[in-house]
Amino acid sequence: MSNVTIYHNPACGTSRNTLELIRNSGTEPTVILYLETPPARDELQKLIADMGITVRALLRKNVEPYEQLGLASDTFSDGQLIDFMLQHPILINRPIVVTPLGTLLCRPSEMVLEILTDGQRGAFTKEDGEQVVDEQGKKIDK
């Protein structure tokens, strides 16, 4: 079993790039397709706590349920926001990656490099053509 887990949405470019950066380090992560298998409430709360972010910071805003449920309004408690995320997993921003070095919402995808235990094994270019890792496996600073 891998010591890296990604909460992944294969339809999301950022999520796909993050998964490939993990694989470029020589690690095959545990992939959780969270839209099909959403985390349980306690697991979601632990992920949020481990990331050190607010519940609202994990909310994905540019999806239909966000508008339909009126989530832009600041009238909901953290518990209510978590309820909405569990009922509509598309509201959970992604990808979330868990490694022995920490838990991060990897937006942009190269943030995953901060928590991988193994370095990159070669160059990596994102789907949009942006190179983020050079041939020596070093992150390219912009």
Give residue-wise pLDDT tens across range 58-74. 999 999 999 999 999 98
Q: What percent of the chain clears pLDDT 70, i.e. is strictly above it?
A: 99
CA distance 102 to 61: 25
Contacts of 71 by beta carbon, 8 Å cutoff, 6+ apart: 59, 61, 65, 81, 84, 91
Do residues 110 and 21 touch, judged by C-beta distance below 8 A? yes
CA distance 126 to 32: 21
Confidence of residue 2 (pLDDT cuts 50, 70, 90): confident
Q: How much is the pLDDT for 1?
A: 59
Q: Region 32-46: what's the mean pLDDT? A: 97
Give residue-wise pLDDT tens across range 78-88. 999 999 999 99
Q: How much is the pLDDT for 20?
A: 97
Q: Region 4-18: what's the mean pLDDT? A: 97
Confidence of residue 5 (pLDDT cuts 50, 70, 90): very high
Question: CA-CA distances (angstroms) from residue 10 to 18, 93, 117, 121, 128?
Answer: 11, 13, 23, 23, 16
Q: Which residues are catalytic?
A: 12
Give residue-wise pLDDT tens across range 97-128. 999 999 999 999 999 999 999 999 999 999 99
Write down all domains in the chain, each with its CATH number in brackets: 5-133 (3.40.30.10)
DSSP secondary structure string for all residues of 104-117: EE-SSGGGGGGT-S
SS3 7: strand
CA distance 82 to 48: 10
Confidence of residue 24 (pLDDT cuts 50, 70, 90): very high
Mean per-residue pLDDT over the chain, rounded: 96
In a 13 Å sphere around the CA of 43, the CA atoms on its Cβ side amount to 13
